């Protein structure tokens, strides 16, 4: 094991041990440190740090997040390993509060893949031991023959069973999802690191929530909705979910969302926003418990901006980076929501 020392912007220090070849971010999070990150897969740049002593080697030179590493010594902790006997890092931000449950690695097997559309599917991983997670968190899955882990949000509410359920979008140019969609990973052994992510519903959240999600960003919200239903949250705090999709003929999980509205007894309001074409009259007939709109998800929310400001809800945002960025700009600039009140995940 190799010792890694870390100092944050405020001068607070911490240390953790890492194995040769192990990703620095993964080791630090597993040790319980509040290291900064967002995606943990090299796409966002949120885990940038500067090497001040020792050496680190890159595990993915072409990581999109490396665009933020403009100065000598700057690295992405999620895509770097130790290349010296010791290593010291300086963070550009303060340590985050370490949250429970802590991250850990489990071994599991992929099972139960199911197509929802040609591009969207669900699957499960049966683990050798349970992973405790909060509603809205995600995990990193590493599969044999695929370089680097991939992030997937848990769709089910937290439980003590050694099984995690996920939603996946097919990326034909990718390395992992084509294997999933073809069935090549059925029964395959994978490593799972989790839980990760801070866009969660917490046990002390005693306010309504507003969720703006796009595409496969709905995954983590399914877990949040299930947990809220179990806790009776919607009976005390009527909440709203706006789900952005492109076209009605590519819609998915609408039956599950309609069921959640019914189980909430009206406490959860779900609007499906179709950006590319409006829903036909058959939508209302098929899904009377759901609302439908034509437009981008954040524009649909914008129509009730004064209501948002008055209710001061917890806000969840999840989906592709352009959708997340547009939603956050609208919420902060027009709805006057504090950035600290927005819990978000970008899926780039």
Confidence label for 160 from pLDDT (cuts 50, 70 and 90): confident
pLDDT tens readout for residues 44-63: 899 999 999 999 999 999 89
DSSP class per residue in 277-319:
S---HHHHHH-TTSEEEES-HHHHHHTTHHHHHHH--EEEEEE
130 CB-side CA count, 13 A = 8
pLDDT tens readout for residues 273-330: 999 999 999 999 999 999 999 999 999 999 888 778 778 899 999 998 899 999 999 9
Confidence label for 93 from pLDDT (cuts 50, 70 and 90): very high
Taking the complete model, does pTM exceed 0.85, yes or no?
yes
Q: Work out the angle at residue 183's Cα, subtended by the Cα atoms of residues 182 and 189, and round it to the nearest 5 degrees.
A: 130
Is 154 exposed, middle or buried (CB count within 10 Å of its CB: 0-12, 13-18, 19+)?
buried
Q: Span 104-196: which CATH code?
A: 2.40.30.10
Q: Which residue is listed with tokens 């990326």? A: 171
Instruction: Please name the fold of domain 2-90.
Output: Ubiquitin-like (UB roll) (3.10.20)
pLDDT tens readout for residues 192-214: 999 999 899 998 899 999 999 99
The alpha helices in the chain, defined as continuous H runs, are 24-30, 177-182, 218-230, 233-236, 254-263, 281-286, 297-302, 305-311, 321-333
Q: Which residue is listed with tokens 């806000």? A: 315
Q: Give me the pLDDT at residue 90, please.
A: 98
Q: Give me the pLDDT at residue 159, please.
A: 86
Query: In this structure, which CATH number among 1.20.1080.10, 1.10.230.10, 3.40.50.80, 2.30.110.10 belongs to the domain 209-346?
Result: 3.40.50.80
- Average pLDDT of the residues in 9-33: 95
Q: Is the pLDDT of residue 235 over 60?
A: yes
- pLDDT, the chain, mean: 94
Q: What CA–CA distances, in Å, run from 60 to 19, 98, 147, 193, 320?
A: 18, 27, 9, 18, 22
Give domain limits for the chain: 2-90, 104-196, 209-346
């Amino acid at each position: 094991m190799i010792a890694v020392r870390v100092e944050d912007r405020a001068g607070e220090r911490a240390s953790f041990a890492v194995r040769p070849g192990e990703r620095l971010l993964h080791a630090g999070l597993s040790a319980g440190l509040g290291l900064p990150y967002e995606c943990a897969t090299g796409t966002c740049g949120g885990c940038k740090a500067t090497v001040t002593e020792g050496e680190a080697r890159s595990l993915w030179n072409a990581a999109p997040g490396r665009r933020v590493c403009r100065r000598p010594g700057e690295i992405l902790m999620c895509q770097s390993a130790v290349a010296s006997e010791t290593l010291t890092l300086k963070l550009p931000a303060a340590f985050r509060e370490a949250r429970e449950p802590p991250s850990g690695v489990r071994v599991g097997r992929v099972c139960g893949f199911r197509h929802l559309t040609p591009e969207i599917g669900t699957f499960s991983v049966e683990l050798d031991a349970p992973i405790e997670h909060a509603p809205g968190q995600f995990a990193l899955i590493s599969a044999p023959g695929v370089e680097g882990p991939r992030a997937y949000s848990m769709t089910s509410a937290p439980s003590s069973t050694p099984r995690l359920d996920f939603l996946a979008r097919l990326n034909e140019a990718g390395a992992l999802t084509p294997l999933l969609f073809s069935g090549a990973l059925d029964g395959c052994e994978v490593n799972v690191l989790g839980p990760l992510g801070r866009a969660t519903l917490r046990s002390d959240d005693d306010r309504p929530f507003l969720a703006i999600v796009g595409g496969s960003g709905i995954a983590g919200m399914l877990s949040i909705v299930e947990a809220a239903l179990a806790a009776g949250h919607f009976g005390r705090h009527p909440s709203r979910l706006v789900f952005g999709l492109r076209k009605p003929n590519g819609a998915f999980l609408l039956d599950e969302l309609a069921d959640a509205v019914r189980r909430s007894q009206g406490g959860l309001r779900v609007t499906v926003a179709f950006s590319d074409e409006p829903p036909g009259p058959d939508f209302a007939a098929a899904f009377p418990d759901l609302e439908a709109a034509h437009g981008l998800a954040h524009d649909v929310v914008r129509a009730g901006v004064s209501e948002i400001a008055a209710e001061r809800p917890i806000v969840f945002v999840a989906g592709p980076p352009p959708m997340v960025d547009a939603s956050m700009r609208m919420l902060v600039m027009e709805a006057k929501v504090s950035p600290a009140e927005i819990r978000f995940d970008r899926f780039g």
